[in-house]
A and B are shown apart, each in its own frame.
Chain A
Amino acid sequence: MRVFFLLCMLLPVYIFPSFEGDFYKTLSDFVRNPKMFFLDLETDSENNLALSKTDISTNLLLQILGVLNLSYNTRYKLNSLDINFGSGLWYFWSIKLIKNIDGLENAKDINMFGFSPFITLSKDLDNIRFFVGTKLSIGYVSFNFRDVIEEQVSDKTLRDMIKGSSYVKDLYFDPALFTGMIIEKDDSYKSIQIGYNILNSRIFAKLVFGGPTFSFFIGFYPDSPIVIHPGLNISF
């Protein structure tokens, strides 16, 4: 059952008929709307579930892809209400490597990082814990491809046309609301989370299956070019 589940959930990541075509489409989507990528990266790197123990974790798959990330989550009890708080933070250091691609040597100011403080309220209902929470996504994105465009695009009209979107330097904020359920048993847990980024009108959802050290999750982003993001977290 578990193998079938993994196959069913993960196959969409690999079914793209043309990887190269999708890579360029994703790159062009990134240049047009870098915000959507930082929101997805952030949700991938944070753990804001209503966990009963303090959790410091990192997403190993993102680390392999060159995104430094860390998540902190701890619980505080206030009367009968449990409050989890913490933050995820990430730094996409490997995006600077695109300067090594032929023709992109003159790209400048490439930076992408962010963090997302959150607060999650939860309540135990028999054998399941129900939670609601809010987070504030804060991200900084900058890149400057003006010199690249100047050098690579010979047609003046086209050059002038795309130059405007080849430079970004922005600090993004987007509050989000989320809700979910978690079943904790011994040292393992299973959880679902559904949320909504308010300013960008974007849905996100997560299924998480966690153990004492590792947890596996699948992130669902229906409004993104890559709809499904698998992730493997290690907790310290």
Chain B
Amino acid sequence: MRLFCTIVLFIFITVFSYSSSLFLSKMSIEQGFNLNKVDNLKYDLNSSNSINAYFAYKDYITKDIMGLFVYNFDYSGPGIKGGTANNFTSRTLDNFFLSKFFYPLDNQFTLEFKADFLYEFYNTGSEKWTEGLYNFGKVSLGSDISYKKNDIVLRSGVGLSYVWFPNYTDLETEALNMIEGNFASSINQNFIQLSLNLGFELNSSFNLVIDYFLLYRFYPDLYINSESILDKEKQYDLINVLKIEFGFDFKKTYLNIGSNLSYYNSNYNYRKIVDFSTLKIDFNKDYLDYINLDTYFQFGIYVSSSSVLEFNPYLGYKKYFKRHPLKNDGSGELDFSKLEYDLYYGASLSYNYITDEVLSFKPVYTIQKGVSNNKYIMSGGNYISHYIGFKVSFEY
């Protein structure tokens, strides 16, 4: 997801560094290998690739209104790939369309409207793309207003999204509901999301971007797994995200530091049958509530006019407020004596060489370690992973 956001951000920054009509496109293929060692499992070596293409076009559609149209295709194979994901087997295929319209109110205020569509195919192994259990679609409408004075940009916006999961089923929860006679329950995960964002941007001798997002998700058909089967409380999530990015471009080097702090609050409860013979159920109230901090540091050296060496250490920490980890005895029961935390940290080293102005070759090495007090063998929270990859990009 961080990669996806970076691509979209890159498109915006590049597009608005020009004033007239503009077409941008980038296509890239990355081939790599993962060497993973998950605790209590053997080393696993596999190959992985990623394929990405985006097209962006902007132009004045009337005398005052500028339109921006973006399509992004992204296939991502398994692997850590610079800390963007911690999955070892799953693959995703994203199709993203965005149209955005800019209407300047005066020299300082600009009103923006946007509509976007994202469909993600999520493949956990060998199923067909169209049959993925976690496939989802998202449509959004939004509006922003921005104020620009000298080097400072202030912005604020609201958005409305609908997210649906066409194939999602949860046979165990359905069975649990039937066993308890709770026929009114639904496992439909579709949700409506309302968002509010506030942003500050400073572009002077250095760049500073601070964004705050407040997201509220409401699941109209999903009842939470309550202690009492008579409760019909619907699920909601409230997510606060604070993003800070700082960038400084020296003559021969550059430095970017960024951090995401998120606070996730949900009324979702965990219920799972841990013994089918006695129908013993483990219950964990407010299972999803957590605070999460992701931080990265990018240090780049311009080795020549056509090549950059980049070092990127990063760290992520997630602390659950009420979630208990699974016992590591294979029973599948919760260990109520602990609260779960997950930590990952790593670093990547890459070298980007550009030739013919549009073609770049980029080898990258990443090492990442994960530490969690959830020692359950299938949770995969304790691991060390090496990734070596090579990316070829054409960019116009």
Contacts and interface: CB of A to CB of B under 8 A. Distances in A.
B51 A220 contact: yes
Nearest to B396: A128
Contact of A192 (B31, B33, B394): B394
Interface string B147-170: 000000000000000000000000
B358 interface: yes
Q: Does more than half of chain B's interface fall in helix, strand or loop, or is it mixed? A: strand
B253 interface: no
Most buried by B among A8, A125, A207: A8
A5 B51 contact: no
B130 to A, nearest CB: 6
Contacts of A228: 31, 47, 49
Interface in A89-131: 125-128, 130
A190 interface: yes
Nearest to A185: B356
Contacts of A8: 31-32, 363, 388-390
Contacts of A218: 31
Most buried by B among A5, A127, A179, A194: A194
A194 B394 contact: no
A103 to B, nearest CB: 28
B269 interface: no
A46 B93 CA distance: 25
Contacts of A220: 29, 31, 49, 51
Contact of A201 (B45, B129, B356, B363): B129
Contacts, number: 86
Given A11-B33, A220-B31, A181 B356 contact: no
A183 B396 CA distance: 11
Contact of B91 (A12, A190, A201, A222): A222
A125 B396 contact: yes
Interface string B64-84: 000000000101010000000
Interface string B19-37: 0000101011101110000
Given A180-B27, A181-B358, A183-B358, A222 B49 contact: yes
Contacts of B73: 194
A40 B342 CA distance: 41
Nearest to A204: B51
Nearest to B353: A1
Contact of B51 (A1, A15, A203): A203
Interface string A5-41: 1001101100101000000000000000000000000
Contact of A181 (B27, B130, B353, B388): B27
Contacts of B356: 127, 183, 185, 190
A83 interface: no
B392 interface: yes
Contacts of A171: none
Contacts of B49: 220, 222, 227-228
Contacts of A127: 356-358
Given A183-B359, A194-B53, 7 more contacts: A15-B47, A17-B45, A128-B358, A181-B25, A183-B356, A203-B51, A222-B91
Interface of A: 1, 4-5, 8-9, 11-12, 15, 17, 125-128, 130, 179-181, 183, 185, 190, 192, 194, 201, 203, 205, 207, 218, 220, 222-223, 227-228
Interface of B: 23, 25, 27-29, 31-33, 45, 47, 49, 51, 53, 73, 75, 77, 91, 93, 128-130, 353, 356-359, 361, 363, 388-390, 392, 394, 396
17 contacts: A1-B353, A8-B31, A9-B390, A11-B33, A15-B45, A17-B45, A128-B358, A181-B358, A183-B394, A194-B53, A203-B51, A205-B51, A207-B29, A220-B31, A222-B75, A222-B77, A227-B49
Q: Which 5 A-B pairs have the closest CB atoms?
A: A12-B47, A8-B390, A181-B394, A201-B129, A192-B394
